[in-house]
Amino acid sequence: MQGIINKLIKERNELDEKIVDLKAFIDSLDYPMQKTAAEEMQYIGAMIEQLAAMKRYSTFLNERIKLLKHNDMAYFKERDCLE
């Protein structure tokens, strides 16, 4: 069980790094200049949508990690009480 939790934590941390990098890139763009080209705006819009999806997945991973940790702790508490 701990191996699964560690794998999810690693995946979440890597995803969070990508989120930070993408957010910094989007924030660094010069929006007034980009507004002159509709094609560029579509590209930026797609990146913003991707950022939102990555954040949702990161939230999902956090919830999964919490649930697994909770279940893991409950299992060991129950097992210790039975012995």
Q: How high is the pLDDT of residue 36? A: 61
Q: What is the mean pLDDT of the chain?
A: 79
The rounded Cα 59 to chain-centroid distance in angstroms is 6
Q: How high is the pLDDT of residue 57? A: 92
Distance CA 33, CA 36 (A): 6
CB 19 within 8 A of CB 57: no
**pLDDT score of 48 more than 60:** yes
* Winning range, highest mean pLDDT, from 19-23, 29-33, 35-39: 19-23
The rounded Cα 54 to chain-centroid distance in angstroms is 5
pTM beyond 0.75, yes or no: no
